[in-house]
Copies of this chain bind each other. A is one copy, B any other.
């Protein structure tokens, strides 16, 4: 099977123009098919503030009301997505930016049943693998914004880590998929205060221990849970590390590799 890299880059990368450029340069040097999924960053919050749209938080989680959905659609699918695409085009990558609504790429449903009403937040139902295959076989590099739709006309705000995992999982039927979570750190750290304390490899038993010892906590847990969902569904490898070191993450000289 051909290789396919599904690369998610987080908000802290998107917020930092020089880091983003380094990351996109690394992306442009990759051999083989690649899909870039980007997060949102602080721009949406800044926009909301400058527009006087109050950000509602419930139990520490942001609620996507109608005005917030409008802002994240503009910022994620508009500003961030198109700037990444234009930059990749200038680097010789035939990038195409899509949201989950475009070509019915990612169908989702509004989250229900939770104790909290998250508003217009979508959980992924289905990835259009035929469309992705059609485009990447023409050497198009997809750049995907974390906005999905419910096929009834409603756009939905969706977690970018989950989108990357859903795409990686769905595409693993057709490709040897490597899922890379790029962020601002070298990898999963054994000591949060020591940026060089990267854990090179984590398997299930180690993961359990690291959670118990509270070495892994907060945002890293859903990321690694997503990694295991992907690995169990057939994704070949999941690597977490510095977004601008894509080549090193792929050749195994940097970052944390998650193993079954």
Contact = CB atoms under 8 A, between A and B. Distances in A.
Interface in A71-116: 73-79, 81-83, 85-87, 89-90, 94-99, 101-104
Contact of A73 (B83, B87, B89, B153): B83
Nearest to A85: B101
Interface stretch (A144-152, A192-200, A234-242): A144-152
A103 B99 contact: no
Contacts of A155: 82-83, 86
Main secondary structure of the interface of A (DSSP, over half): helix
Using C-beta atoms within 8 Å of the partner chain, give the interface range for chain A: 35 or more
A97 B89 contact: no
B78 A79 contact: yes
Q: How many protomers of this protein does the assembly include?
A: 2
A94 to B, nearest CB: 6
A148 to B, nearest CB: 9
A98 B142 CA distance: 12
A96 B94 contact: no
Contacts of A70: 79
Nearest to A79: B74
A138 interface: yes
A94 B101 CA distance: 9
B87 A79 contact: no
Interface in A187-231: none
Contact of A89 (B76, B83, B87, B104): B104
A153 B101 contact: no
Nearest to A92: B151
Contacts of A79: 70, 73-74, 78
A140 interface: yes
A78 to B, nearest CB: 2
A104 B94 contact: yes
Given A79-B74, A85-B101, A99-B97, A138 B147 contact: no
B86 A78 contact: no
B73 A76 contact: no
A171 B253 CA distance: 48
A21 to B, nearest CB: 9
Interface string A18-41: 000000000000000000000000
A98 to B, nearest CB: 7
